[in-house]
């Protein structure tokens, strides 16, 4: 696993899985005994309650003003192994700030071509950040709510290729992912009924933290 990583979850759209994946990533890193700071950068703060209720050793910060993100993230990263930032929906200055401070940006994206078109706007913003920072952050698309994991349509894969962005295997549409926040758990704490979801999510976590 990489030392000292700042992971940013962003996209132009809401409801694509940013919070679900960000919370699971923080919980997974904490399970690996990493010291983790979670930044809830979405003014709706939907991740904060979930993180608190998990009761895991994850430091929580609510920072949604873009200037504060730019100023404070580097300092917070000095005092943690990993920082996970849950971004808001949209192409706001907050999203831009998350991209300017992350090492790795993940763009969760729904399974349709319309979702991908929306994501392409976030990819443009990512390219601007990369230009400003001479390469950083890396950017990867996470297809979410798939009918079957890893089964992105050929059109979608072609369109992602055109965008020049890597694509992970992603997550399929599963009730356990939707139920997790309400149960104040992550899927690997939910027992036998969430076994497949747990397996998928942990596979995704490995891909997100690799190398
Ligand atoms: N793979 C999935 N299968 C089923 N429901 C999902 C999945 N991923 C996310 N959800 C649900 O979709 C909704 C939006 O997810 P969320 O993580 O809040 O997205 P965002 O942070 O991008 O707005 C939530 O109700 C969440 O539980
Ligand atoms: Mg969210």
Concatenate the DSSP letters of all residues of 151-204 into one string. ---HHHHHHHHHHT-EE----B--HHHHHHTTTTS-GGGS-GGGHHHHHHHHHH
Confidence band of 124 (pLDDT split at 50, 70, 90): very high
Is residue 89 within 8 Å of 80, Cβ to Cβ? no
Is residue 64 within 8 Å of 43, Cβ to Cβ? yes
Ligand 1 centroid distance, CA of 105 (Å): 18
Q: If you take atom 8 of ligand 1, which residue's CA is the nearest one?
A: 17
CB neighbour list of residue 129: distance below 8 Å, 6 or more residues apart = 96, 99, 100, 105, 136, 137
The per-residue pLDDT for 156 is 82
The per-residue pLDDT for 2 is 62
Q: Would you state the structure tokens that stand for residue 135, as one six-digit string?
A: 């390469």
0.95 exceeded by pTM = yes
Ligand 2 centroid distance, CA of 48 (Å): 10
Pick from 10, 15, 23, 47 the residue to mutate for probing ligand 1's pocket: most ligand atoms within 8 Å of its CB.
Answer: 15
The per-residue pLDDT for 184 is 98
The per-residue pLDDT for 45 is 96
Is residue 26 within 8 Å of 6, Cβ to Cβ? no
Confidence band of 1 (pLDDT split at 50, 70, 90): low
Ligand 1 within 6 A of 174 CB?
yes
Ligand 2 centroid distance, CA of 137 (Å): 20
Is residue 41 within 8 Å of 133, Cβ to Cβ? no
Domains of the chain: 5-209 (3.40.50.300)
Starting from the CA of residue 45, give the closest ligand.
2
The per-residue pLDDT for 211 is 79
Nearest atom, ligand 1, residue 146 CA: 1
Q: How confident is the model over 167-201, as pLDDT tens digits?
A: 999 999 999 999 999 999 999 999 999 999 999 99
193 HSE (CA, 13 A, CB side): 9
The least confident of 23-27, 62-66, 113-117, 171-175 is 113-117
Category of 165 on φ-ψ map: left (φ > 0), alpha (ψ -120 to 50) or beta: beta
Identify the bridge partners of residue 9 per DSSP, sorted by sequence position.
Answer: 86, 106
**CA of residue 61 relative to chain centroid, distance:** 16
Confidence band of 159 (pLDDT split at 50, 70, 90): confident
The least confident of 3-12, 59-68, 89-98, 154-163 is 154-163
Ligand 1 centroid distance, CA of 134 (Å): 33
Q: What's the rounded Cα separation, in Å, for the pair 172 and 37?
A: 27
Ligand 1 within 6 A of 178 CB?
yes
pLDDT at residue 152 is higher than 90: no
How confident is the model over 6-16, as a mean pLDDT? 95
């Amino acid at each position: 696993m990489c030392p000292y990583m700042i992971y940013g979850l962003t996209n132009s759209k809401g409801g694509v899985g940013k919070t679900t994946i960000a919370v699971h990533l923080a919980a997974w890193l904490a399970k690996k005994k990493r010291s983790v700071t979670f930044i809830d950068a979405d003014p709706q703060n939907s991740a904060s309650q979930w993180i608190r209720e998990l009761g895991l050793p994850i430091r929580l910060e609510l920072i949604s003003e873009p200037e504060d993100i730019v100023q404070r993230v580097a300092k917070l990263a000095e005092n943690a192994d990993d920082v996970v930032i849950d971004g808001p929906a949209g192409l706001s200055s907050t999203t831009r700030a998350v991209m300017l401070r992350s090492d790795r940006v993940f763009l969760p994206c729904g399974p349709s071509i319309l979702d991908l078109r929306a994501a392409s706007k976030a990819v443009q913003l990512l390219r601007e950040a990369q230009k400003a920072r001479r390469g950083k952050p890396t950017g990867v698309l996470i297809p979410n709510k798939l009918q079957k994991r890893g089964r992105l349509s050929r059109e979608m894969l072609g369109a992602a290729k055109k965008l020049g962005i890597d694509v992970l295997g992603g997550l399929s549409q599963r009730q356990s992912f939707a139920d997790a926040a309400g149960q104040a758990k992550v899927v690997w704490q939910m027992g036998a009924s969430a076994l497949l979801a747990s397996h998928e999510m942990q596979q995704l976590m490995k891909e997100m933290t690799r190398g």
